[in-house]
Amino acid sequence: MSRVFMKGTEAVAEAAVRAGCRFFAGYPITPQNEVPEYLSRRLPEVGGVFVQGESEVASVNMVYGAAAAGTRSMTSSSSPGIALKSEGVSYCASARIPMVYCNFARGGPGVGSIQPAQQDYLQATKASGNGGFRMPVLAPATVQEAVDMTYRAFDWADRDRTPVLILADGVIGTMMEPVVLPEMKSDEEVAAIKESKKKWACIGHPLDYAHRSWIEPGQWSTQKMQKCNEDAAALYRSWEKEAEAEEYQTEDAEIILTAYGISGRIAKSAVNLLRAEGIKAGLIRPKTVYPFPNYAYDKLDYGKVKAILDVEMSIPALFVEDVDMAVKGRCPIETCLCSGGNIMSRDAVIAAAKKIMEG
């Protein structure tokens, strides 16, 4: 397979089409406008439907509807728009509707800034809407990873009937990188995927009450609602084994840099330069931020590791809370931060690591 040079947003959109996504509804916001732009042209080519909704709330609810009818469906936005979509995401989670959405995050809170940031971590991993639901949250560090994760997200969403979030940022969205695109699913495969959802989706059933599909984002009976919560909780527990992290040069490391997404790749390049100067640095980069890869931190040799340096484009630090729970006090955790649309400086990461090692 030959590689092509693509922008992150467009590569994610193409990956979704290749995964069998045939419905997209969205509303414009920088820095992800190329997703709807690309799909407005691309989806009609494959018999899909593109809708620019009148708002984020309308768009996400259209996705809720299309996905409830068995079609692989997606929406995307950036931070303030993602916040608006929380209603529909929560409804999908409650009704167990598979859908995929993507956040090309920017500075916040509020309107914040239109440049890249990682200030939506807690929203993404802990509370993407009301009601205490969970969902897989995948954090790409390259355009290739964004493509691969989007492709996989649709399978995960269908398998477990859950929303899946791709937590990217404005850098991953607007940068161009070489990518190898995944295989295009044939019309037959896309039809078979839809057919496989017949048991629960509103695809069209005989007019008898017994075989009708019900999409229920809530229950009148408190007992039934609790049962739904218990079933969902069991599902969330089952995801623990699917947590994934990149572990780089960790075996003999005396300082571990930890970061996700764009900060993860910048931290990795800092590890290489620190190693070149004789400092034994390593990296843990969660690829799934929910479920969180605690195992990677458990494997560390805390006899050797002097400290962990959390690197993130968020002030205050947010990702560090999950790192803290994973490290369980086994070594000190320091931070190297920027936010508001500023991109993490590799030199700043290196300086922070050196300060710890010299101090």
Partner 1 sequence: METNLCVAGFGGQGVMSLGKFLADATCNSTDKNVTFFPSYGAEQRGGTANCYVVISDDDIGAPLGDVMDDLIVMNGPSLAKFLPTLKKGGRLFLNTSIVPDKIDRDDVTVVKAPVTEMAYELGNAKVLNVIMLGVYIGFTEVIDPAIVWETIEHKLASKPKLLPLNKQAFDKGLELGRSQR
- CB within 8 Å of 214: residues ≥ 6 apart: none
Query: Encoding tokens for residue 179?
Result: 């990518």
Distance of CA 319 to the CA centre of its chain: 14
CB closer to partner 1, 152 vs 265: 265
342 binds partner 1 (CB under 8 A): no
DSSP, res 106: B
Q: Which stretch binds partner 1 (CB under 8 A): 77-85, 92-100, 174-182, 195-203?
A: 174-182
Q: CA-CA distance, 139 to 245, in Å (whole number)?
A: 10
265 binds partner 1 (CB under 8 A): yes
User: Minimal CA–CA distance to 312: which of 287, 350, 339?
Assistant: 339
Q: Taking the complex as a whole, how short is the minimal distance between the CB of residue 269 and partner 1, in angstroms?
A: 3
Residue 57 has φ and ψ, to the nearest 5°, of -65, -45
Q: CA-CA distance, 353 to 84, in Å (whole number)?
A: 38
Q: Which stretch binds partner 1 (CB under 8 A): 17-25, 83-91, 221-229, 262-270?
A: 262-270
355 binds partner 1 (CB under 8 A): no
Q: CA-CA distance, 216 to 236, in Å (whole number)?
A: 19
CB closer to partner 1, 304 vs 354: 354
x/- contact string, 32-71, with partner 1 (CB under 8 A)? Answer: ----------------------------------------
x/- contact string, 97-136, with partner 1 (CB under 8 A)? Answer: -----------------xx---------------------
**What DSSP string runs through 329-340?**
TSS-EEEEE--T
Q: Taking the complex as a whole, how short is the minimal distance between the CB of residue 38 and partner 1, in angstroms?
A: 16
| Positions in the binding site for partner 1 (CB under 8 A) | 3-5, 114-115, 171, 174-178, 262, 265-270, 272, 343-347
